[in-house]
A and B are shown apart, each in its own frame.
Chain A
Amino acid sequence: MSKHDITVTVNGTTHTREVDARLLLVHFLREELDMTGTHIGCDTTHCGACTVILDGRAVKSCTVFAVQANGGEVETVEGVAQDGELHPLQEGFWEKHGLQCGYCTPGMIMSAKYLLARNPNPTEEEIREGISGNLCRCTGYNKIVEAIQYAAEKMNEPATEEVPA
């Protein structure tokens, strides 16, 4: 079996490792880099718990080989909060009770982040479509949709109040 030296940038930090060709990206993140925020749910490309953003596209990291991410950029749930401040999506999941057990949450947040980056004002239907590759087995989807709506509203607020001329 071939081994490969790969360099992958994860949340802005570059990592170089030697990996087996068959190592999946999710195992690379969790076992090589000890970044266990990305979850493994189903192992069958169904549940989306392992969703990360790879070179700008949200993908299931259990269905990509780590060697394929060589030279690429990965964004995981660990990179979502900035400078100790929760991202509006994380705040939304907190405020709207968007999780119970939390298992699906990292994947939900990454899918939602990808959705909002491309469509800052999604309709409820577009949100449901956007997270349709992510399964939740406890909260149900209504609270998750509300959490994403909360984040969209918050992210669309003007950064500073406009001062009337």
Chain B
Amino acid sequence: MIPGEFDYYSPGSLEEAVGLLQQHGFGAKLLAGGQSLIPAMRFRLSAPEVLIDLNNVEGLEYIRESNDHLAIGAMTREAMLEESDLVADRYPLLADAARVIADPLVRNKATVGGNLAHADPANDHPAAMLAYGAELVALGPDGTRTIPIDDFFVGLFENALDEGEILTAIRIPSPGANSGGAYVKAERKVGDYAVSAVAVQLTMDGDRCTAARIGLTNVNPTPMRARNAEQALAGQTLSDDVLETAGQAAAAECDPSQDLRGSVEYKRDLTRVLTKRAIRKAVERATGAEA
């Protein structure tokens, strides 16, 4: 299958890319890793008139920790997350997510920014970043602004970027003491989207959970936080009963659709189970009890 016709531009700087985006308007699409966009173009689900390739823009591939956050350049490849000792040591939820995205070949091209900007509820980074409470940095003709992740996913394949804006970086708040996170995904086979997946980032004070954020993958029309499940954990000693309550809350508040991956009932129950598993793993990491 061959994509439709388009004009191709390969800017060397972000300023140039923003200029091209302004010049070509709605018919233009940004090309990051291309691992979702190019298949969509081959199926003619997407037929942009203009492609602006970000792969030759300098300075968008990096993973850096500063005093209070981890900054990830939008064009950072998933494989770079997998290979990063910093991510493995300090951001295990992100490391969990990176290694279950698509397959290793796709991860060599696919980018963190593309995964988020695509705003596909089946993608893995949205839930992970919702759990982290990340901030997204966008550059447009009027300069830079930051967008809280909670405001970023406005619809199916629809994000909060303005027409002329480019996502340039993702900022994850550094986890404080006694914090831990995990991403647990059920997939039918390598390379498939999740049947369901759950991201949890929490902070413990002894047995008590003082704060928790939970993101869900592919069980809702948009990437979502499981706020009721978070509420069930906050301030509680994490007994089996509390975990079950949180799992049931997540199962109830998501809105999966039936497809080849399973029925609505199955996906809800799987979400309940994965929520409990992700919480347990996050607690083990927060308390240093991980084997």
What residues of chain A have their CB less than 8 Å away from a CB belonging to chain B? 1-2, 4, 20-22, 24, 27, 43-46, 48, 51, 57-60, 63-65, 67-68, 111, 129-130, 132-134
Contacts and interface: CB of A to CB of B under 8 A. Distances in A.
A2 B41 CA distance: 16
A22 B2 contact: yes
Given A1-B5, A1-B7, A21-B6, A63 B103 contact: no
Contact of A4 (B8, B41, B102, B106): B8
A60 to B, nearest CB: 5
Contacts of A44: 39, 42
A132 to B, nearest CB: 4
Contacts of A60: 105-106, 109
Contact of B3 (A2, A22, A132): A22
Contacts of B216: none
A132 B51 CA distance: 30
B6 A48 contact: no
Given A1-B7, A58-B105, A63-B109, A132 B191 contact: yes
A132 B104 contact: yes
B35 interface: yes
Contacts of A67: 8, 10
B27 interface: no
A22 B47 CA distance: 11
Chain B contact residues: helix, strand, loop or mixed: loop
Counting from the closest, the 8 A-B pairs by CB-CB distance are A133-B103, A21-B8, A1-B5, A133-B105, A57-B108, A132-B190, A2-B7, A22-B3
Contact of A133 (B6, B42, B106): B106
A129 B103 CA distance: 9
A44 B41 CA distance: 11
Contact of B191 (A1, A111, A133): A133
Contacts of B38: 24, 45, 63-65
B39 A59 contact: no
B236 interface: no
A68 B109 CA distance: 12
Contact of A45 (B4, B5, B39, B53): B39
Contacts of A46: 191
Contacts of A51: 105
B10 to A, nearest CB: 8
Contacts of B6: 1-2, 21-22
Contacts of B51: 21
B109 A64 contact: yes
B55 interface: yes
A105 to B, nearest CB: 15
B104 A63 contact: no
A43 B40 CA distance: 11
6 contacts: A20-B5, A22-B2, A27-B2, A59-B108, A67-B8, A132-B190
B177 interface: no
B291 interface: no
Given A22-B4, A44-B39, A63 B34 contact: yes
A48 B103 contact: yes
Contact of B1 (A43, A48, A64): A43
A130 B34 contact: no
Contacts of B108: 57-59
